[in-house]
Amino acid sequence: MAAKYVITLCDGTKCINNGAHRVRAALDEQLRAHGLTDQVRINLSGCLGMCEKGPIMVVNPGYVIYGGLDESDVERIVTEHLVGGKLIGDLEVEQDHLYNRFYRIFGDVGFFGKQMRIALRNCGIINPENIDDYLSLRGYEALGKALTEMSPADIVAEVQRSGLRGRGGAGFPTGLKWKLTAAEKATPKYVICNADEGDPGAFMDRSAIEGDPHTVVEGMALGAYAVGAERGVVYIRAEYPLAIKRITKAIEDARAHGFLGERILGSDFNFDIEIRLGAGAFVCGEETALIHSIEGARGMPRPRPPYPSVQGLFGKPTLINNVETWANIPVIIMDGATWFSTVGTETSKGTKVFALAGKVVNTGLVEVPMGTTLREIIYDIGGGLPGGRKFKAVQTGGPSGGCLPERCLDTPIDYESLAKAGSIMGSGGMIVIDEDSCMVDIARFFLEFTQNESCGKCTPCREGTKRMLEILTRITEGKGRAGDIEKLQRLGETIKKASLCGLGQSAPNPVLSTIENFREEYEEHIEQGKCRAGACKALIRFEILQMCKGCGVCRKVCPVGAITGQAKHLHVIDQDKCVRCGLCFEKCKFDAIVKV
């Protein structure tokens, strides 16, 4: 008997952490209790992108999305929706669309309406651990087409015509990289998937592998056929256990079905993939450092040229692309470069995946055509800032990106436009910053990360970022000096020009962009000893006003005993003892404590 309902449960990391497995157990129990086991089929999927709403359950027919679930909600879904045939409005995602007939057909138009999913086309739809699901959506057809209808040179030419640029951050033309690798005569050749995603707030590669690992496997196989490689490596950080589990199973299943191994699909093409785990070094996202790590050496970059296309893994020609780049390849080969190149802008073709995080309503994973504006991503897809908070900046490109102010919100997302605005595309991190954030402290946070992750090989990066961090720390502690801003700018420009690899060359970006766009905050810190956002503890004071009722709550919650006073009398804060924790400010019921 055919199932009356099909329920798809998100089985991605965020939903799992929020209790998706408990929801699944409760669903199984309720279906048994109501005798619906034969009428309901349960599918598991990767991330649908709506991370803020997890755990997610999609009920078909009707494409009804329930979100923010826990075990207690499951009985209502079974009894009211599956048995009673009524929708449960308070559990639906995006209740504003409840009576919109288009919502019933297309789902959450607000979140998905301006997206175009190419790299993430199967995420949230297929079971990532079931190769049959992937095959049912044209999986491995591109590989079959390549091996039966196209030569390696045809594949390279098609990728070149598509205009695809590397999604790892630099935006180098993918087809040109493939052409250079294919032209090398030395053997063996290698292909590598760079899944070493270390940016704070970034989870694009992890989610893509968790949701659709076979598209990465197929993309790598197509790349290997195009350049003449027989061995592939997926380099993925060990902190991604679920992604590792699913890419491992995908490789095993692809091998069992004849899509990897000897004489693939009856051709003369041989190719197989192994997995290497990274230890979490951010610098290993740089391709030459990644290669050193795979070889068993310390992950440190080397000067280029020679580029990996000429001399890469074990000194042999090597093709390296990141997860998102590989995920686009099967689509380009299957649907053609002509179609793919119609998406995006003149110089930036296709779509881009972003991990939307920070102070935004809909945090999650989004994929939009190149040319979509920052405003559309943050407000139309992201739902704006929660609680009506005021937008202050958006940081794009990970810890090495720039912080762009409100006047840049209409900047289109493409490599050139972001660079002109003072930031970078990066691998796709996008962090929204609100009015309660201090831009000096934000710059200090990101520089502290990159300084800590510097491999230390080259002096400009090792020493320069350390000096910059010392100056920034001093400024946030109220000890800034005249000329510090200019010194930061000189150091930043020198580090960018003289560093060996992309980490050092981009590490000063958060500092330089915040000075460019929020210089007044630096000047207030240095000249007035003031942090307008109240984020730099050393620059804030809590004072008790005359209206104090003497209730004693502030004195009781103070962790260092900095508040004294008698009951029903004015209390006083000893500023030398105060650690600026803010507990007194939060707990005062009479608004008698102010932050100054």
pLDDT tens for the 596 residues of the chain, in order: 578 999 999 999 999 999 999 999 999 999 999 999 999 999 999 998 888 888 999 999 988 999 999 999 999 999 999 999 999 989 988 644 333 333 333 444 567 888 999 999 999 999 999 999 999 999 999 999 999 999 999 999 999 999 999 998 788 999 999 999 999 999 999 999 999 987 877 788 999 999 999 999 999 999 999 999 999 999 999 999 999 999 999 999 999 999 999 999 999 999 999 999 998 888 898 899 999 999 999 999 998 899 999 999 999 999 999 999 999 999 999 999 999 999 999 999 999 999 999 999 988 899 999 999 999 999 999 989 998 889 999 999 888 889 999 999 999 999 999 999 989 898 888 999 999 899 999 999 999 999 998 898 999 999 999 999 999 999 999 999 999 999 999 999 999 999 998 889 999 999 999 999 999 999 999 999 889 888 898 888 899 999 999 999 999 999 999 999 999 999 999 988 998 888 999 999 999 999 87
The CATH architecture assigned to 5-109 reads: 3-Layer(aba) Sandwich (3.40)
Nearest CA to 368 out of 570, 591, 88, 167 is that of 167
**Cα separation, 499 vs 536, whole angstroms:** 30
Q: What is the model's pLDDT at position 109?
A: 52
Q: What is the model's pLDDT at position 94?
A: 60
Exposure class string for 83-116: b at 16+ Cβ within 10 A, else e: eeeebbeebbbbeebeeeeebeeebbebbbebbb
Q: How many CB atoms lie within 10 A of CB 345?
A: 18
How many angstroms separate the Cα of 478 from the Cα of each of 435, 444, 526, 542?
Answer: 20, 14, 7, 16
Give the DSSP letter string of 151-189. -HHHHHHHHHHHT-B-TTTT--BHHHHHHHHHH---SS-
Residue 11 has, within 13 A of its CA and on its CB side, a CA count of 23
Tokens of 487: 């010194």
**Does a cis peptide bond (omega within 30 degrees of 0) precede residue 55?**
yes
Nearest CA to 497 out of 458, 445, 457, 451 is that of 458
Residue 362 has, within 13 A of its CA and on its CB side, a CA count of 22
CATH 1.20.1440.230 fits 439-528, yes or no: yes
The CATH architecture assigned to 131-340 reads: 3-Layer(aba) Sandwich (3.40)
Q: How many CB atoms lie within 10 A of CB 5?
A: 17
**Cα separation, 162 vs 178, whole angstroms:** 13
E strand or H helix at 522: helix 509-523
Predicted TM-score (pTM) of the model is 0.89
Enumerate long-range contacts of 159-163, CB under 8 Å, 24 or more apart: 159/226, 159/329, 159/332, 159/337, 160/337, 161/337, 161/338, 161/341, 162/332, 162/337, 162/340, 162/341, 162/349, 162/350, 163/337, 163/340, 163/341, 163/344, 163/348, 163/349, 163/350
Which pairing describes strands 572-573 and 542-544: parallel, antiparallel, or unpaired? unpaired
The residue type found at 261 is G
What residue spans define the domains of the chain?
5-109, 131-340, 351-434, 439-528, 541-595
E strand or H helix at 543: strand 542-544
- Provide CATH code, domain 541-595: 3.30.70.20
Q: What is the model's pLDDT at position 6?
A: 94
**Cα separation, 357 vs 365, whole angstroms:** 9
- According to DSSP, residue 216 is labeled H
Assign domain 351-434 one CATH number from 3.90.226.10, 3.10.20.600, 3.40.50.20, 3.40.718.10: 3.10.20.600
